[in-house]
Amino acid sequence: MYTQSVKYVKDPLWTWKNFVERGITDAVVTRPEIMESWQRCRVLDVDPYDGIGKDRLGHSELQQLFISNSQLVEVAKPFMHTVYQSVQGSGFMVVITDKEGRILHTCGDTGILDKAASTIQFIKGTNWSEQAVGTNAIGTALVINKAIQISGPEHFCQSHHYWTCSGAPIHNYLGEIIGCFDISGPAEYVYLHTYGMVVAAVEAIENQLRKEVIQEEKNRAYELLSAVTESVTEGLLAVDNEGRIIHINLAAQKMLRFSHKNVTGEFLNSLLGSQNNLTDMFVHHPWKTDAEMVLELSGESIQFTCSSRPITQGDGSISGVVFTLLEINKVRRLVNRMVGATARFYCKDIIGESEVMKKALKLIFVAANSRSNVLLTGESGTGKELFAQAIHNHSGRSDGPFVAVNCAALPRELIQSELFGYNEGAFTGAKRGGNPGKFELANEGTLFLDEIGDMPIELQVNLLRVLQERKITRVGGNKEIPVDVRIIAATNKNLLKDIEEGRFRQDLFYRLNVFSIHIPPLREREEDIELLTMYLIRVFSESLGKQIKGADTEFLQAIRNYSWPGNVRELQNAVEFAINIAEEDYLTVKELPRTVVSYPRLIRTEGKVISLLEVERITVESTLNQFNGNITQTAKALGIGRNTLYDKLKKLGVRA
């Protein structure tokens, strides 16, 4: 609170004349604040016989002044008019200035306003600082930074002796001076209570300014919070203790199918139904992390993960819950990217200029533009997964996941849980919270079922049901989960023969074999062998840090003569092996694996034509002997899987 100490002087005019004309100070009859101000005015060379407001702003400068101080004026105006109503009719006016003492706004009796304007140019935009017009309540209050009342001859300039004025500086929330509040009127009507009114008005203005700053900070904080909540892809939903929505971002509105309507203030149960999972979590589990949920909304099942955190008060009590929602498909796409469940190859990445390969490659784009299931057939090592990835990448599902499953590599007892997932407690060792299967992970994308012919017959009916109904049920669960998955299957087996022998379901075959692409073996694309070899030399030279420029004529002749039962995969292994042991700039035949070089010579020395089946038998048996019966090393050398090797040994009559 401002304080004021007033001394009554016997003859203030005599004191003023003594100071102005003779420089004599009378500290007994003159307040220190007044005497110090007079001395400042003398140093500033203020004319004591003037005091007319001559430092005025032009129109454009005045407009800029109002803009710069608009908040101060808007806040102060109501208080100015309230004060004026208290002194209305008594010849007083109320004034607000900026921090430099320039008049911003006035209100008062018409007569006093006109007199102030005509006699001393006391109008908007005029500078009323000590330097401009000498000692006065506005200018002096701004200098001493406290409220003051100045009357009659206490003013330094004679033209102000008619007036009495009470002024107090206005501060912002940082304590900085931003303006001055003043009440002025004839000196003959000087009242102490006008000083008190000024002090009270300034306190009220400062309080209101602080409130506005606080409100602005709240608004900025809310805007920041809104910007943050709208920038995240997760849905954010906050409810109070009664289950009423107090905040929701756009992502949550879309996820919960609230469209764009404003649901703030509505009860969660009225929007989602009384049996919804969110209400159950709100009531029983206010602290949960990544719980999987399914909501039935308008006949549609919506899957998402949900985390909840209680809103706590200062006393530790809970006033509500905040939910973080994430669509399960987004979670799975992220997981797929993390684990590499993406397709990297396009049609341009598949090398081949032979006629049979050109026909097969052309079918990639036909299959990509279709929604039908695809069955890829061909021997092991021909590149069936490359074709599957290319079909996916050229299709409308290219932004979705590409999930590959090797049906021959999965243990028989785990195929169902791998494909369809399982719930918590479905079997001993089941992960807490359950686990999604490959169908769920591939949702909105492509599921590549490699070696489909090795899927157990008892599970084929489950796969057929999913293909027909587009829904899966997790192991240990009873809730159907809709899936949107395109199937690309592949096999190196004769499925028609397997159907005849009861190892493959005919109805599943026709469901998969909607669009069929046969990938030719390498021996049927002789013109591609050298092209592939030169490409592989470049690739492996770079990855192995070797400077191999190419291959000599004998090397190329040897690879053309070989039948490549392991197809492209075997060719890759042979080239990588050769580059690893190469010592010169060009590969020679001595760097090739013995199997590649030996069998063409064996065929020529016997002087007869040998069937491809016999060549395959010789290749497999020789390689097996070379590795002393080691199945793993033999399969790797041939570029085929262990299960495929076992099948070949059985078919060819070779003993392991």
Query: What residue segments make up the domains of the chain, in order of their start?
Result: 12-214, 232-331, 340-518, 525-652
What is the rounded distance in angstroms from the CA atom of residue 459 to the CA atom of residue 468? 15
Mean pLDDT score, 352-360:
92
pLDDT band (50, 70, 90) for residue 47: very high
Sign of CA dihedral 513, 518, 521, 522: negative
What stretch of H or E contains 560?
helix 553-561
pLDDT band (50, 70, 90) for residue 295: confident
Whether the predicted pLDDT of 600 surpasses 70: no
Whether the predicted pLDDT of 415 surpasses 90: no
- Amino acid identity of 648? K
- At residue 260, the pLDDT reads 64
pLDDT band (50, 70, 90) for residue 298: low
Q: What is the mean pLDDT of the chain?
A: 86
Cβ atoms of 381 and 566 closer than 8 Å: yes
Q: How many other CB atoms sit within 10 Å of the CB of residue 468?
A: 10
Top-confidence residue, 579 or 415: 579
Whether the predicted pLDDT of 559 surpasses 70: yes
CB-facing half-sphere around the CA of 417: CA atoms within 13 A: 19
Mean pLDDT score, 38-62:
94
Whether the predicted pLDDT of 427 surpasses 80: no
Whether the predicted pLDDT of 57 surpasses 90: yes
- Amino acid identity of 30? T
- At residue 28, the pLDDT reads 65
- Amino acid identity of 79? F
Mean pLDDT score, 98-109:
94
- At residue 269, the pLDDT reads 81
φ and ψ of 471, to 5 deg: -140, 150
The tokens describing 384, both together, are: 């069936």
Which CATH number is 232-331 given? Answer: 3.30.450.20
Q: How many other CB atoms sit within 10 Å of the CB of residue 322?
A: 16
- At residue 609, the pLDDT reads 55
The tokens describing 475, both together, are: 């192991």
- At residue 249, the pLDDT reads 87
Mean pLDDT score, 340-361:
86
pLDDT band (50, 70, 90) for residue 604: very low
List Cα–Cα distances, 393 to 241, 333, 397, 451, 523, in angstroms: 49, 15, 7, 21, 28
pLDDT band (50, 70, 90) for residue 1: very low
Q: Which of 200-204, 228-232, 443-447, 571-575 has the lowest mean pLDDT?
A: 228-232
Residues 6+ apart with CB under 8 A from 33: 140, 144, 148
Q: Hey, which residues does 163 pair with through a beta bridge?
A: 186
pLDDT band (50, 70, 90) for residue 476: confident
Question: For residue 295, which of 270, 277, 315, 320 has the smallest C-alpha distance?
Answer: 277
pLDDT band (50, 70, 90) for residue 6: very low
pLDDT band (50, 70, 90) for residue 22: confident
What is the rounded distance in angstroms from the CA atom of residue 68 to the CA atom of residue 490? 75
Whether the predicted pLDDT of 608 surpasses 60: no
Q: 375 by DSSP, 3-state: which? A: strand
What is the rounded distance in angstroms from the CA atom of residue 330 to the CA atom of residue 353? 40
Whether the predicted pLDDT of 607 surpasses 50: no
Whether the predicted pLDDT of 253 surpasses 70: yes
Q: How many other CB atoms sit within 10 Å of the CB of residue 334?
A: 12
- What's this model's pTM, rounded to 2 decimal places? 0.54
Sign of CA dihedral 27, 29, 34, 35: negative
Size of the chain, expressed as the number of residues it contains: 656
Of the options 2.30.40.10, 3.40.50.300, 3.40.50.10860, 3.40.50.1360, the CATH number for the domain spanning 340-518:
3.40.50.300
One-letter-per-residue 3-state SS of 422-456: ECCCCCCCCCCCCECCHHHHCCCEEEEEECHHHCC
Q: Which of 308-312, 524-528, 600-604 has the lowest mean pLDDT?
A: 600-604
Percent of the chain with pLDDT strictly greater than 90? 48
Pairing between β-strand 374-377 and β-strand 485-491 as defined by DSSP bridges: parallel
CB-facing half-sphere around the CA of 227: CA atoms within 13 A: 6
- At residue 9, the pLDDT reads 44
Q: Which of 182-186, 207-211, 421-425, 610-614 has the lowest mean pLDDT?
A: 610-614
Asked if 12-214 and 232-331 have one fold, the answer is yes
Mean pLDDT score, 199-224:
90
- At residue 337, the pLDDT reads 56
Whether the predicted pLDDT of 603 surpasses 60: no
- At residue 602, the pLDDT reads 44
Whether the predicted pLDDT of 422 surpasses 90: no
- At residue 624, the pLDDT reads 82
What is the rounded distance in angstroms from the CA atom of residue 116 to the CA atom of residue 95? 12
What is the rounded distance in angstroms from the CA atom of residue 12 to the CA atom of residue 10? 6
- Rounded-to-5 percentages of helix, strand, coil across the chain: 50, 20, 35
CA angle 181, 183, 188 (to 5 degrees): 155
Tens digit of each residue's pLDDT (9 = 90 or more) over 580-598: 999 899 999 999 988 787 6
Q: Hey, which residues does 105 pair with through a beta bridge?
A: 96
Q: How many other CB atoms sit within 10 Å of the CB of residue 431?
A: 10
- Most confident segment among 222-226, 477-481, 525-529, 620-624: 525-529
Q: Which segments of 562-611 does DSSP mark as H helices, in order?
A: 567-581, 594-606
Q: Phi/psi zone of residue 66: left (φ > 0), alpha (ψ -120 to 50 degrees), beta?
A: alpha
pLDDT band (50, 70, 90) for residue 413: confident
The DSSP letter of residue 127 is B
What is the rounded distance in angstroms from the CA atom of residue 282 to the CA atom of residue 457? 45
pLDDT band (50, 70, 90) for residue 649: confident
Mean pLDDT score, 25-44:
87
Pairing between β-strand 515-518 and β-strand 374-377 as defined by DSSP bridges: parallel
- At residue 3, the pLDDT reads 41
- At residue 4, the pLDDT reads 43
Q: How many other CB atoms sit within 10 Å of the CB of residue 15?
A: 23
Q: How many other CB atoms sit within 10 Å of the CB of residue 482?
A: 12
Q: What top-level class would CATH report for the domain 12-214? A: alpha beta
For the domain made up of 525-652, give the CATH fold. Helicase, Ruva Protein; domain 3 (1.10.8)
- At residue 35, the pLDDT reads 93
The tokens describing 167, both together, are: 């002024």
Q: 7 by DSSP, 3-state: which? A: coil
Residues 6+ apart with CB under 8 A from 82: 201
- At residue 325, the pLDDT reads 85
Q: How far apart are the first and last CA of the chain?
A: 103
Q: Phi/psi zone of residue 287: left (φ > 0), alpha (ψ -120 to 50 degrees), beta?
A: beta
Residues 6+ apart with CB under 8 A from 425: 476
Taking each helix axis from N to C end, the angle separating 631-638 and 642-652, rounded to the nearest 10 degrees, works out to 90
What is the rounded distance in angstroms from the CA atom of residue 198 to the CA atom of residue 167? 6
Q: Phi/psi zone of residue 197: left (φ > 0), alpha (ψ -120 to 50 degrees), beta?
A: alpha
Pairing between β-strand 288-297 and β-strand 245-248 as defined by DSSP bridges: unpaired
What is the rounded distance in angstroms from the CA atom of residue 288 to the CA atom of residue 321? 11
What is the rounded distance in angstroms from the CA atom of residue 19 to the CA atom of residue 594? 122
What is the rounded distance in angstroms from the CA atom of residue 559 to the CA atom of residue 530? 8
Top-confidence residue, 548 or 342: 548
What is the rounded distance in angstroms from the CA atom of residue 640 to the CA atom of residue 318? 62
What is the rounded distance in angstroms from the CA atom of residue 405 to the CA atom of residue 419? 8
Question: For residue 133, which of 122, 125, 144 has the smallest C-alpha distance?
Answer: 122
- At residue 617, the pLDDT reads 79
CA angle 207, 210, 216 (to 5 degrees): 145
